[in-house]
Structure 1
Amino acid sequence: MTAMIQLISPVDGRIYAERQYADATQIEHTLAAAADAQAHWKRRPLSERAALCSAVVDAMLAMKDDIVPELAWQMGRPVRYCAGELRGFEERARHMIAIAPEALAAIEPTPVAGFRRLIQREPLGTVLVIAPWNYPYLTAVNTIIPALMAGNSVILKHASQTLLVGERFAQAAARAHLPAGLFNNLLLNHDQTAAIIGSARVQQVNFTGSVGAGHAMENAATGRFLGLGLELGGKDPAYVRADAHLDHAVENLVDGSFFNSGQSCCAVERIYVNEKIYPVFVERFAALTRQYVLGNPLDEATTLGPLVTPGAAVFVRGQIAEALALGAKALIDPTTFPADAPGSAYLAPQVLVDVTHQMSVMRDESFGPVVGIMPVASDDEAIALMNDSEFGLSASIWTQDLAAAERIGNEIDTGTVFMNRCDYLDPALAWTGVKNSGRGVTLSRLGYEHLTRAKSFHLRHEI
């Protein structure tokens, strides 16, 4: 009998969906179908691929009214924000479709008499996308649409917590009349996923998840010489300089810290503030944080939903408790958030001061609604603290001095530098990380380079 997978909703702890894992026969059929479909798909003109991929996007957007509450039930984000994920889905997909002709165009060196020389971008074959639950449409579309545009076939293995998202992608592909076998959604356990990676029947794996799982991906891929894109999380810092526009910085950093209950790889998890404005910044930051409404994400009034599981909340509560035991001070009284209940997935937001880098909350990824704030005396001190981390996904600088932001940004070990904004992926820019935040690139024209291989033509036509 095939094993079952249960999706436990963080809303009320009940089973929201139940499905069977794929069996060996289904996996074999999918791998064969993907290879066969890709052999035909790569020969289709780019304009035809674009039309079909655009139809996939249209089909997904047409399901918005069903997707919004479904997403809240699966991973807990308030319904008032769920439609925003589909807007981001569309923005990224449309952009990657639009830039494909330029990104995939042949590169022609300086002409040489008697020769035709060019470098073509060839599809890799089958791309395995392993997507997470926290932004299940956005993270998946980062690879799915450009992989298809580049001439690859795709197999999607979505997180068990958001398994219905994989089904929505499959429905959109079917409604857009994508060729059979070109896009495939599989429910896989860890062993099955590892076996596919090690089978030599997929040529690229793009994974978003934890550092530990990233190591497992690398182990599974050992000896296969396939491409491996890893986005593994972060402990993203923000630096607020003395010349920052204070109200703007507070508003955006509160949102960057607590949107999606802090469950974002690029959430702001630690903030460094110039000591001259530190007291007023902290006061305003805490005051705005107290305005959140923690509760059932299906309620339109809710602005902060539950974490994805009670276990995730236990971890964050543990970080807070450790920090307090080591001398930190909590600025938010959790009893003012009636939905906060120990042992549940519902957790009040927390702002900590008097924190140090000896505390887990300033060092280890929290992935929850907590942030620590420290004063700094100078740019150099801020840079040193921002770089004092095993992660390097994004960092934000809050200042009115563009030159200072560029100078500081050049000193930070990170994949993306923001000025006066945070927690946003611009599809025209490369999304990448350093250190334990991973390797590889999605989005932008550089994202296409990781979904294709170079093929050189050196043609001598005059003898």
Structure 2
Amino acid sequence: MDGVTRPSPAGEAPLIEVENPATRRVIATVADAGPADVDDAVRSARKALGTWAATPVVDRVAVLRRAAKLLEDRREEIAQVVTAELGAPIRIARSVHAQLPIIVTATTADLLASYDFEQRIGHSLIVHQPVGVVAAITPWNFPLHQVTSKVVPALAAGATVVLKPSELAPLSALMLAAILTDAGLPEGVLNVVTGGPVTGRALVDHDDVDLVSFTGSVGVGRAVAAAASRTVKRVTLELGGKSASLVLPDADISTAVKVSVANAFFNSGQACNAWTRLLVPADRLEHVNDLAQAAAEKHTVGDPTDDKTRMGPVISDQQRERVRAFIRAGLGDGARLLAGGETSPDGCGDGYFVRPTIFTDVDPASTLAQDEIFGPVLSVIGYRDEAEAVEIANGTRYGLGGSVWSGDTDHAVRVARRIRTGQVDVNGGAFNPAAPFGGFKHSGYGRELGVHGMAEYLEPQSLQLPADAGRD
């Protein structure tokens, strides 16, 4: 904080060990910051707010563009760090985990350069002011991308930030802070406090934090919103998902199944918007089962530093046991196991590996089809007609992502409009880092990325001008 890295006062904070989930070896230690450290960080952010908010847009743009260039220059180093702290296969760490932050930072810089911070409505001048001090609390599954998706738009808006990355994967977030400092971000504008739940609670409870942006589980998100209400903080929540890939009868079923299986297993299934339910016409179910089983066999599990590996470990022993418990529950509920299971993959050593798993004949009301697993487990569900398919797709408490597949794109779009989620991919449409990301229902509220993401960190102020005031 204040542009320098320092330990907790008098070295009082205990240390948290950061573990490589593929090897179970400790690769780093970070401080478990306490309330005093959080107070220092918030004070630093508050002190820097006035100057940063008043910094000309062109100068803020320049910082972000330099940061995007430095992220590009250090892309391989970032990928290696993400592979070590998360267990992401190196080729995915390079193409997604290290690449998306470059795109988000550059895109936000371009958006900021053209954003209209003032508008006239009649005799009123509407001025968009930064929200103030932002507490950003991020998860471990996309340890740099999700940090960038909060920090960069907040900085663009003129807000200052106190970031608490996940204690399970904090190393790439610390790299981002160093990169932003090298890019010319002034002292105190971004402050990082590492730590666990106590650190997070201290941030949420702090009287001088104006907005909390949280990504994580529904249970913790609910607690964050309740705690923040005491001080009437603004809150944005990006929570869980149970997304459906809905394959209509006229779709290219082979392609739809292949892509859907890959999506479900991407990042070892540790993605809030993963398509974990595959909805297919009941009369094509056995054909789909064959296709899905064949697709699963191509998802090689193993050493994430090997370029050939498609799936690495899950993040921790606790997460692995959670996934295994869901697999046991699926078997207990009568679902039929097509691939995988709870036993460890062969030849993977001591890491927290889970076999890519597919169930079929899954009851849409079962635990397997209703709860977020956050692991490589896919449920195949048959439907009778389109109306039932849409009902099943909407039939969970979540509403984050999903997809619709059809030979007629216009038809697919009509169906997608009926899916109550924040994002729907149509016939494999690619992720767009400039489009708003967020959810309906228990998947949270608020949006990240693009113009909508930056707007979360702005407050509109109305200045009522005299009738004869100029309009220049």
Corresponding letter in the other structure for 1:88: L
Q: Which residue number in structure 2 is paired with residue 151 of structure 1?
A: 158
Question: Is this contact kept in 1: 2:264–2:276, CA < 8 A?
Answer: yes
Is 1:206 the counterpart of 2:213? The answer is: yes
Secondary structure of the residue that 1:366 maps to in structure 2? coil
Partner of 1:9: 20
Letter in 2 for 1:99: L
For the 8 Å contact 1:339–1:346, the answer to whether it is kept is no
Q: Is the 8 A contact 1:233 1:266 kept in 2?
A: yes
**1:338: which partner in 2?**
346
Counterpart of 1:247?
A: 254
Distance apart, 1:391 and its partner CA: 0.6
- Find the counterpart in structure 1 of residue 194 from structure 2: 187
Superposition pairs of residues 250-265 of structure 1, within 5 angstroms = 250-265=257-272
- Unpaired segments ≥5 residues, structure 1: none
Supply the AA of the counterpart residue of 1:61.
Answer: E
The answer to whether the 8 A contact 1:10-1:75 is kept is yes
Q: Which runs of 5+ in 2 are unaligned?
A: 1-11
Give the Cα separation in 2 of the matches to 1:173 and 1:93.
Answer: 11
- Give the Cα–Cα distance (whole angstroms) in 2 for the partners of residues 337 and 194 of structure 1: 38
* Structure 2 partner of 1:39: 50
Question: 1:426 is aligned with what amino acid?
Answer: N
Contact 2:438 2:446 in 1 (8 A): yes
For normalisation by structure 1, the TM-score amounts to 0.94
1:118 aligns with 2:125: yes
Letter in 2 for 1:107: Q
Which of 153, 161, 171 lines up with 2:168 in the alignment? Answer: 161
1:202-260 Cα distance to aligned partner (Å, 9 max, x none): 11111110011102211321221211010111011111011112232122112111011
Query: Are the aligned partners of 1:340 and 1:347 in contact in 2 as well (CA < 8 Å)?
Result: no
Is the contact between residue 241 and residue 443 of structure 2 (CA under 8 Å) also seen in structure 1?
A: yes
**Partners of 2:174 and 2:454 in 1: how far apart?**
25
Counterpart pick for 2:435 among 425, 429, 440: 429
Matches for 1:167-316 after TM superposition, within 5 Å? 167-316=174-323
> Are 1:438 and 2:444 matched, yes or no?
yes
Q: State how far apart, in whole Å, the 2-side matches of 1:7 and 1:301 are.
A: 25
Question: SS of the counterpart of 1:338?
Answer: coil
1:261 offset after TM fit, Å? 0.6
Q: Distance in 2 between matches of 1:149 and 1:291?
A: 42
Residue pair 1:118, 1:458 contacting (<8 A) in 2 also: yes
Say if 1:394 and 1:416, in contact at 8 Å, map to a contact too.
yes
Confirm or deny: 8 A CA contact 1:351 1:370 kept in the other structure. yes
**Displacement, 1:337?**
4.1
Q: CA deviation at 1:388?
A: 1.0
Matched, 1:70 2:77: no
Q: Contact 1:340 / 1:348 at 8 angstroms: preserved in 2?
A: no
Corresponding residue SS for 2:465: strand
- Taking only the aligned residue pairs, the percentage that are identical comes to 27
Conserved 8 A contact 2:109-2:156 = yes
> Residue 54 of structure 1: CA displacement?
1.4
Note closer, same or farther for the CA distance 1:313–1:188 as it changes in structure 2 (3 Å cut).
Answer: closer
Give the deviation of 1:302 after TM superposition. Answer: 1.3
Residue in 2 that maps onto 1:96: 108
CA distance in 2, matches of 1:171, 1:286: 44
**Amino acid of the structure 1 residue aligned with 2:459:** R
Q: What CA distance in whole angstroms lies between the structure 2 residues aligned with 1:384 and 1:340?
A: 40
CA contact 1:261–1:306 (8 Å) conserved in 2: yes
- In structure 2, what is the equivalent of residue 451 of structure 1? 457
Inter-CA distance 315–305: structure 2 relative to 1 (3 Å threshold): same
Whole-Å separation in 2 of the counterparts to 1:293 and 1:247 = 20
Kept in 2, the 8 Å contact 1:311–1:345? The answer is no
Letter in 2 for 1:105: F
Q: Does 243-252 or 432-441 show the bigger shift?
A: 243-252
Question: For residues 45-68 of structure 1, what are the alpha-carbon distances to aligned partners after superposition, in whole Å with 9 as ceiling and x for unaligned?
Answer: 111100011112222232222222
Give matches, 1:370-381, under 5 Å: 370-381=377-388
Q: 1:208 to 1:449 in 2, by over 3 A?
A: same
Which among 395, 408, 415 is matched to residue 415 of structure 2? Answer: 408
SS at match of 1:365: coil
Code of the aligned partner of 2:301: L
The equivalent of 2:6 in structure 1 is none
Does residue 1:382 correspond to 2:389, yes or no? Answer: yes
Amino acid at match of 2:91: R
Q: TM (normalized to structure 2)?
A: 0.92
* Pair 1:51-2:37 in alignment: no
- Contact 2:314/2:320, CA 8 A, preserved across alignment: yes
Alpha-carbon contact 1:249-1:398 (below 8 Å) kept = yes
Deviation, 1:340, is: 6.4
What is the alpha-carbon distance in structure 1 between the residues aligned to residue 279 and residue 348 of structure 2? 28
| CA distance, structure 1, for counterparts of residue 41 and residue 60 of structure 2 | 21
Deviation (angstroms), 1:361? 1.3
CA distance in 2, matches of 1:336, 1:163: 27
Q: What is the DSSP-based 3-state SS (H/G/I as helix, E as strand, rest coil) of the residue aligned with 1:108?
A: strand
